[in-house]
Amino acid sequence: MRWIDIEDEADLVGDLHIETFPTLLIADDDHVCFAGPLTPQPQTLKRVLRAHPTDAMAAKVPAEISALAARLREHG
């Protein structure tokens, strides 16, 4: 888990433009599982965390989000 302040770590965020807060990115070594704004209800987060990524979902992830996930993996 990593918290990113998009102003303090703009070089890590790259070309991704985040306009809604909070925005959450969940990724494992192979897939972006979720990327987008999240309402502040615990049930919503639980539902997102229980979802399983699919190849179809991975194909729909914008390149900027996949690139951010890769940079996060590199920077631990």
Domain boundaries, the chain: 10-75
**What pTM was computed for the model?**
0.71
Per-residue pLDDT reduced to its tens digit, 19-76: 888 888 888 877 888 888 988 899 988 888 887 666 555 557 888 888 888 888 887 6
- Containing 10, the helix (H) or strand (E) segment is helix 10-13
- Please give the Cα distance from 36 to 24 (Å, whole number): 6
* Residue type at position 27: A
- pLDDT value, residue 43: 93
Residue 63 class from Cβ within 10 Å (0-12 exposed, 13-18 middle, 19+ buried)? exposed
